[in-house]
Amino acid sequence: MTPSWSSAWCLSISGQIRRNITGVSPGLDSGALFADAIRPMPEIKQILEDLLRQAVTKAVGPEYAEADPILRQATNPKFGDYQANLAMGLAKRVGRNPRELAEAICNALPLGAEIERAEVAGPGFINLMLSSDLISSQLAETASSERLRVEVADPPQTVVIDYASPNLAKEMHIGHLRSTIIGDGISRVIEFQGHRVIRQNHLGDWGTQFGMLLEHLIDTGWEKSDDHHIGDLNALYQEAKKRYDSDPEFAERARKRVVALQGGDEQSLRLWRMLIDESVRHMNEIFARLNVRLADKDIKGESFYNDRLARVAEELERKGVARISDGALCVFLEGEEAPLIVRKSDGGYGYAATDLAALRHRIEDLGGDRLIYVVDSRQRDHFNKFFEAARRAGWVGTARLDYVPFGTIMGKDRKPFKTREGGTVRLAEVLDEAVERAKKVIETKAPDLPEDERDSIAQVVGVGAVKYFDLSNDRIKDYVFDWDRMLALEGNTAPYLINAYVRIRSIFRKGNIDPDSLHGQPVEIKQQAERALALHLLQFPQIVSGIAESLEPHRLCTYLYELASAFHKFYERCPVLTTEDPTERHSRLALCYLVARTLKLGLELLGIETVERM
């Protein structure tokens, strides 16, 4: 007899699932872990796949039971809730007509507890309509879960993620935005899964640009000044670069200054530390505004690896991975025209050597099972080369290496985003303008709010709008920076999602309802709008696990936007506070609460805050 998941689990859920908290808080700050006191109910997709495999066994034999059901959610509700496309591929293996085989599988499916209706469409698609009881029991399980049924990784891995990595001795600019917030979102998702996440802010603090800048600062007497501000360093850096490009004598002194710095010269180190301190102060200020989880403990500058570079080079040469060519130590890779230069002909080390040393540190010292690098797509060739070099050297072992490339932020002219004067757009200025624009919108929409509340809401909405607009775009593609689209209250934007959350919270205020009293309460599915919203809610665990694998935050953005859209359709068609049926009212309030929880958690995984009024 086929087991009935929903009937068995309705009995379990009616007594409400109790949870043993093994972490500290259901929030994301520490990646707290939660464990079920009883075995959790399988997700709908797993239930349907099991039933389809049992039906295949009955229809054509157990030797085909492991065939992939190719199950996906239906795009049109009139065809059902899910569609299984296994018959077309399986038909060739068993030598039967695809539609005939689909009908045989359909006839073998049990109807009632889980599947209300199963029909064959077209050449052999199997359309499945779920029972309302199954959807309700799944929602009850979700509502009782502090983690909205996102499973805790077992066993957890150590994941080292490299992101942000802004240039030092210069203000952060718009080009630093993508790595910072994409990396932060990915790290939040993986941490929420229960993995141990080690963030690494890999700062370029040891290269040629520092020799150039240090030499110029010594010439200008900057170190004797009492006022060392990041804004001044921008201009000084540009002056130094101009001298470096036009003055061979200065360029030679700058190169020697790098050697002196790397050799421990006292004056060079003292001035270098002043630059680092001011740069880190500025960087932390921007990270705080962006609500990004990077701290001083996460900083690993190139200087950290300085005493490891010679050992890296020696081992690569000893193992035959690298060889001398024109005085430089190089790794030659098949199919690559240019080699990976580990040590230059003048004896200096480039960033390839530093990256290799960092990889070894992250695997051997930090115990990384998975290394993730969030770096722009222009570095693809470098990552291909240095990953392969590390594998040849035997340093990777079983660790997984993930390069997460991303495109460029463009202006409306489809060229890299610049100021009107053609200069680099400072990130602080972008955030300032976003907050100012958000405040104007809020003043228009909610003029009665106290000014301090308008200010705090503008901070959340403005910064959230910048971050979400970036994250909602497929990371590999370039996108056009557009203030109007970014701050729109309609469409796939942060203001739209935050407003959906605010709308739900206003329902509770208007009804004088304590939202926490709705935690774990049952939901009855009667209307199509309720059904569509419920099915979308139940996808959340799959979305989270998918993002941890694909490292594509835009998929979470799309999910949240579709969830908010489904909620608005539900709210328009299904009265909540005004329905005369008290059971229906309570059920719909519980559904609203579950949507609010999902929106809040989803936005939090993206590093975006919410507000209670807007």
Mean pLDDT computed over 427-439: 97
Under DSSP, the state recorded for 416 is B
Query: Which pLDDT score is estimated for 226?
Result: 67
Query: Which pLDDT score is estimated for 195?
Result: 98
Q: Which tokens in the block code for residue 602?
A: 């989803």
Looking at per-residue confidence, does 342 or 230 come out higher?
Answer: 342
Confidence of residue 14 (pLDDT cuts 50, 70, 90): very low
Amino acid code (one letter) for 297: K
Residue with tokens 């929903």: 6
* Closest by CA position to 103, among listed 128, 125, 72: 125
Mean pLDDT computed over 171-192: 97
Q: How far is CA 30 from the centre of its chain?
A: 17
| Torsion-angle region of 429 (φ positive above 0: left; ψ -120 to 50: alpha; else: beta) | alpha
Q: Which tokens in the block code for residue 458?
A: 């503008």
Amino acid code (one letter) for 151: E
Query: Which pLDDT score is estimated for 229?
Result: 80
Name the residue ranges covered by the structural domains of the chain.
5-40+135-143, 44-131, 158-404, 427-605
* Closest by CA position to 470, among listed 376, 342, 592, 596: 376
Mean pLDDT computed over 406-422: 89
The vertex-594 CA angle with 591 and 596, nearest 5°, equals 110
Are 130 and 73 in contact by the 8 Å Cβ rule? The answer is no
Query: Which pLDDT score is estimated for 258?
Result: 86
Looking at per-residue confidence, does 462 or 170 come out higher?
Answer: 462
Does residue 597 carry a pLDDT above 50?
yes
Query: Which pLDDT score is estimated for 609?
Result: 98
The pTM score is: 0.90
Q: How far is CA 95 from the centre of its chain?
A: 44
Does residue 420 carry a pLDDT above 80?
no
Query: Which pLDDT score is estimated for 167?
Result: 83
Looking at per-residue confidence, does 427 or 22 come out higher?
Answer: 427
Q: What is the mean pLDDT of the chain?
A: 90
Amino acid code (one letter) for 278: E
Does residue 28 carry a pLDDT above 90?
no
Which contiguous run of DSSP H or E holds residue 397?
A: none
Does residue 341 carry a pLDDT above 90?
yes
Does residue 572 carry a pLDDT above 60?
yes
Query: Which pLDDT score is estimated for 285?
Result: 96
Q: For residue 208, how many other CB atoms are within 10 A of its CB?
A: 16
Does residue 33 carry a pLDDT above 60?
no
Peptide bond into 156 cis (omega under 30): no
- The CATH number that domain 44-131 falls under is 3.30.1360.70
pLDDT digits (tens, 9 = 90+) for 187-215: 999 999 999 999 999 998 877 788 999 99
- The CATH number that domain 158-404 falls under is 3.40.50.620
Under DSSP, the state recorded for 122 is T
Query: Which pLDDT score is estimated for 234?
Result: 83
Query: Which pLDDT score is estimated for 209?
Result: 84
Query: Which pLDDT score is estimated for 593?
Result: 97
Mean pLDDT computed over 304-317: 95
Amino acid code (one letter) for 587: S
Query: Which pLDDT score is estimated for 42?
Result: 82
- Residue 331's beta-bridge partner residues? 340
Percent pLDDT > 70 in the chain is 93
Does residue 38 carry a pLDDT above 60?
no
pLDDT digits (tens, 9 = 90+) for 139-166: 999 999 999 999 999 999 999 999 999 9
* The listed CATH number (1.10.730.10, 1.10.8.190, 3.40.50.720, 1.20.1600.10) that belongs to domain 427-605: 1.10.730.10
Are 168 and 204 in contact by the 8 Å Cβ rule? The answer is yes
Helices (H), 393-493: 427-445, 451-471, 483-486
Does residue 340 carry a pLDDT above 90?
yes
pLDDT digits (tens, 9 = 90+) for 52-91: 999 999 999 999 989 999 999 888 888 899 999 999 899 9
Query: Which pLDDT score is estimated for 465?
Result: 98
Gap between the Cα atoms of 171 and 477, Å rounded = 25
Query: Which pLDDT score is estimated for 41?
Result: 67
Percent pLDDT > 90 in the chain is 80
Give the SS3 label for residue 513: coil
Strands of 233-364 (E only): list them. Answer: 323-325, 328-331, 340-343
pLDDT digits (tens, 9 = 90+) for 77-126: 888 999 999 998 999 999 999 999 999 999 999 999 999 999 999 999 99
Q: Which residues contact 521 (CB under 8 A, 6 or more apart)?
A: 143, 586, 587, 589, 590, 593
Query: Which pLDDT score is estimated for 43?
Result: 86
Burial of 322 (0-12, 13-18, 19+ CB in 10 A): buried
Gap between the Cα atoms of 128 and 130, Å rounded = 6
Which contiguous run of DSSP H or E holds residue 564?
A: helix 554-573
Under DSSP, the state recorded for 41 is P
Mean pLDDT lowest among 187-191, 329-333, 344-348: 344-348
Does residue 12 carry a pLDDT above 50?
no
Confidence of residue 168 (pLDDT cuts 50, 70, 90): confident
What torsion do the CA atoms of 127, 131, 135, 137 make, to the nearest 10 degrees?
-140
Are 49 and 69 in contact by the 8 Å Cβ rule? The answer is yes
Confidence of residue 2 (pLDDT cuts 50, 70, 90): very low
Gap between the Cα atoms of 192 and 250, Å rounded = 51
Q: For residue 106, how many other CB atoms are within 10 A of its CB?
A: 22
* Closest by CA position to 595, among listed 505, 480, 479: 505
Gap between the Cα atoms of 19 and 21, Å rounded = 6
